[in-house]
Amino acid sequence: MPILQINFKLNVPADAYVSNSLGVAQAIAQVAGLRWKIWILNEQEQEAGGLYFFDTEQALNEYLSGPIVAQLGNHPAIRDASFKRFDVIEELTTATRGPVSAMAATQ
């Protein structure tokens, strides 16, 4: 159960980022193998990003090599993007009520 964390700095005000991201949210919702994305924002630091939960490592890799991520590198509202992969520690996540164990059972 791979997790992808993407963080970046904003070159625009946070409210402009949020309103301009509604269209891309629809495209991300259609990504094959993506269970969910949590959008994150630190307005004070002008930083944003997301946590993505994928069905498989292959789905994560396809997302990273796809057009949505490619557009991040060239988008004028964003700079300094970082991409980190993680595996879920199921036992600890279950103990703290993380939703991933229940979702993995439906695979």
What confidence score (pLDDT) does residue 107 get? 53
Q: How do strand 34-42 and strand 2-10 relate by DSSP bridges?
A: unpaired
Q: What single string gives the DSSP state of each residue in 43-80?
A: TTTTEEEEEEEES-HHHHHHHHTSHHHHHHHH-TTEEE
Buried b / exposed e along 67-82 (16+ C-beta atoms within 10 A): eeeeebeeeebbeeee
Residue range 20-72, pLDDT digits in tens: 999 899 999 999 999 999 999 999 999 999 999 999 999 999 999 999 999 88
Going from the C-alpha of 32 to that of each of 29, 36, 39, 53, 58, the distances in angstroms are 9, 11, 18, 11, 10
Q: How do strand 78-87 and strand 34-42 relate by DSSP bridges?
A: unpaired
Residue range 7-23, pLDDT digits in tens: 999 999 999 999 999 98
Q: Which CATH architecture has domain 2-105?
A: 2-Layer Sandwich (3.30)
Domain boundaries, the chain: 2-105
Query: What do you get for the CA distance between the two ends of the chain, in Å?
Result: 10
**Which tops the pLDDT comparison, 101 or 28?**
28
Q: Kindly report the pTM of this predicted structure.
A: 0.88
